[in-house]
């Protein structure tokens, strides 16, 4: 029987499944020695081995993101000593950055993660049942698997549909976010699955809500070249349309999306440039020795289609 038309548009379950893919890819990188993440294995039922090009791509994304985040966390403290900072991760999926930062001793005052309830429920269950994670949040934390919530002193996980700005305001208030504190907002492979109108609203909301903020965006661009067309076909066949890609298909268009909505400075690079000029040379040398790699042409196309954007206000 032919699939109903709606299946070819972005659907919730298929988009949530991209989170499972991301976790499996991160675990593949961990096993090969590209990155360190002592928690991601808890979220992967069936580990898979990814190809060197996928491993290298994930490494580049992780290394660049962590470098930017560490710069935010490292910046000067206020005159009176400690400066409170907060991180807001939109569509956080099973990302474990908070727990890694805890181990590194650099976790911020507040780390808030949002996702659909189906995802936060699974994450809350793992956090509650795996002592390795449970021990990293305060003993007094309240965890509800049913509601998909974790409320601890410095870490909060809450369910929301990001397209509902009213609900977004409610959850960040519930999480105790302070709009006047320096805030690092993460949207990694999330807004691209959301319709352009809602994405614009989220970008505008973030700029109106937080007085000092950095917005980090990572997602696909360039839908119209041969590589982009194939990438879109692959994702659509799984039911995940990249709903945002045609509205802002280039580096400049993505910058414009933010600059038009109250953000002051935007720098968009593709991942080729990020890999060769932002990721530390030593780290690059280290990982380039991990696996035999000869897919240079595909690597160039793939990395050119990935956007790394940092916006500040
Ligand atoms: N940021 C994570 C996960 C990416 S997968 C990472 O990079 O590893 C995309 C995530 O966005 C999924 O977990 C999906 O459930 C979430 N998501 C997509 N649209 C959403 C929406 N409208 N509201 C809340 N979460 C959403």
pLDDT value of position 77: 64
Work out the average pLDDT over 219-245: 95
The CA-based diameter of the chain, rounded to the nearest angstrom, is: 67
Q: Is the CB of 159 under 6 A from ligand 1?
A: no
Q: Is the pLDDT of residue 166 over 90?
A: yes
pLDDT bracket for residue 83 (50, 70, 90): confident
pLDDT value of position 75: 82
Work out the average pLDDT over 206-222: 97
What is the 8-class DSSP label of residue 49? P
- For 30, counting Cβ atoms within 10 Å of its Cβ (0-12 exposed, 13-18 middle, 19+ buried), the class is buried
Q: Is the pLDDT of residue 7 over 50?
A: no
**Could you identify the atom of ligand 1 that is nearest to the CA of residue 118?**
15
pLDDT value of position 286: 98
Q: How many Cα atoms within 13 Å fall on the side-chain side of residue 280?
A: 10
Q: Is the CB of 189 under 6 A from ligand 1?
A: yes
Q: Is the pLDDT of residue 224 over 90?
A: yes
Work out the average pLDDT over 190-217: 97
Q: Is the CB of 185 under 6 A from ligand 1?
A: no
pLDDT bracket for residue 3 (50, 70, 90): very low
Distance CA 260, CA 258 (A): 5
The partner residues of 114 in beta bridges, in order of sequence, read 90, 158
Q: Whose CA is nearest to atom 26 of ligand 1?
A: 91
Secondary structure (3-state) at 215: strand
Q: Which of 15, 25, 160 to mutate to test the pocket of ligand 1 (most atoms within 8 A of CB)?
A: 15
Distance CA 311, CA 181 (A): 16
**Could you identify the atom of ligand 1 that is nearest to the CA of residue 186?**
1
What would the pLDDT profile of 252-304 be if each residue is shown by its tens digit? 999 999 999 999 999 999 999 999 999 999 999 999 999 999 999 999 999 99
pLDDT bracket for residue 2 (50, 70, 90): very low
Task: Give the distance (Å) from ligand 1 centre to CA of residue 114.
Answer: 8
pLDDT value of position 125: 98
């Amino acid at each position: 029987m032919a699939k109903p038309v709606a299946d070819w548009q972005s659907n919730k379950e298929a988009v949530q499944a991209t989170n499972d893919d991301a976790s499996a890819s991160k675990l593949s990188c961990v096993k090969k020695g590209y990155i360190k993440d002592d928690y991601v294995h808890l979220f992967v039922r069936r580990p898979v081995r990814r190809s060197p090009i996928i491993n290298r791509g994930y490494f580049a994304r992780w290394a660049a993101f962590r470098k930017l985040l560490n710069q935010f966390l490292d910046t000067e403290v206020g005159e009176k000593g400690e400066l409170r900072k907060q991180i807001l991760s939109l569509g956080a999926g099973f990302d474990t950055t908070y727990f890694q930062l805890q181990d590194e001793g650099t976790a911020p005052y507040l780390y808030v993660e949002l996702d659909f309830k189906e995802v936060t429920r699974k994450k809350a269950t793992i956090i509650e049942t795996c002592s390795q994670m449970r021990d990293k949040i305060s003993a007094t934390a309240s965890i509800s698997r049913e509601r998909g919530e974790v409320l601890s002193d410095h870490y909060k996980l809450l369910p929301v549909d990001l397209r509902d700005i009213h609900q977004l305001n409610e959850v960040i208030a519930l999480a105790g976010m302070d709009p006047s504190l320096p805030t690092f907002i993460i949207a990694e492979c999330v807004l691209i699955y959301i319709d352009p109108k809602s994405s614009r609203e989220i970008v505008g909301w973030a700029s109106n809500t937080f007085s000092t903020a950095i917005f980090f965006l990572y997602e696909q661009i360039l839908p119209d070249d041969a590589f982009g067309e194939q990438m879109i076909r692959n994702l659509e066949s799984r039911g995940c349309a990249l709903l945002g890609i045609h509205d802002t298909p280039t580096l400049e268009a993505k910058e414009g999306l933010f600059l038009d909505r109250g953000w002051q400075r935007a720098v968009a690079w593709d991942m080729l440039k990020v890999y060769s000029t932002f990721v530390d040379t030593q780290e690059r040398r280290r990982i380039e020795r991990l696996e035999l790699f000869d897919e240079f042409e595909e690597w160039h196309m793939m990395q050119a289609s990935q956007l790394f954007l940092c916006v500040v206000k």
